[in-house]
Amino acid sequence: MRFLPSGRILRVTPGTNLLEAARAAGLPIAQACSGEGLCGRCAVLVVRGADGIAPEREPERQAKRRNRVAPELRLACQVVPSTDVEVTASYWGRGRDEGHPDRSFAGRTRG
């Protein structure tokens, strides 16, 4: 798993979701529902490797709609990759210290 823009790479055990992986990589990741796929705050953009993750299921689609999450984003707590992926999140910033908001990110979720 590779996290952008930091370039951090993390090897994870099978069954690890993107939320757990981001935390293990030391990256800040928002969530308010204990990773149950309800709040939509852990939305990330899968930049590469989307073919190695299962398609969205209806509960994820509903949570994204309810929380006004952009359709191209996935909820990190619901995504368990089976192959290498590259992901990014709006608040990981581009060319800034990680954790600082990047308000220009097109797929931003409401906070």
Return the domain boundaries, the chain. Answer: 2-92
Cis ω for the linkage preceding 5 (within 30 of 0): yes
CATH superfamily entry for domain 2-92: Beta-grasp domain (3.10.20.30)
- How confident is the model over 67-87, as a mean pLDDT? 95
- How confident is the model over 45-66, as a mean pLDDT? 95
- How confident is the model over 56-70, as a mean pLDDT? 95
Q: Which residue has the tokens 């619901």?
A: 78
- How confident is the model over 99-106, as a mean pLDDT? 35
Q: Specify the pLDDT at position 94.
A: 56
Burial of 24 (0-12, 13-18, 19+ CB in 10 A): middle
Q: Specify the pLDDT at position 90.
A: 85
* pLDDT above 90 for 86: yes
* pLDDT above 90 for 31: no
Cα–Cα distance for residue pair 17/53, rounded to 1 Å? 10
